[in-house]
Amino acid sequence: MTETLKVLRTKTTFYDDVERMCATHGVDVLDAIVTWCERHHVEVDSVASWINKDGSLKARLQAEGETARTIKVIGGRLPI
């Protein structure tokens, strides 16, 4: 298998596996990403570009971070 096909296959598997872990195990996106990286012996920094390119995954990760107050809300939001 060529390196390009291997990366594309891994990227698709990454998205699918993270979504599946969130749905079946009830973990948040960040925990699913870290777990996937540990299982596949990949540095979290290596998948950052994949997360950036997937708007849905990035938005969920940002929303969870804002809710948990682990990232700063840009532009501010009214507390609900």
**Rg over CA atoms, the chain:** 14
Q: Where are the domains of the chain?
A: 28-65
More confident residue, 22 or 42: 22
Residue 57 CB partners (closer than 8 Å, separation 6+):
15, 18, 29, 51
| C-alpha–C-alpha distance, residues 78 and 67, integer Å | 12
For 5-31, what is each residue's pLDDT tens digit? Answer: 465 567 888 899 999 999 999 999 999
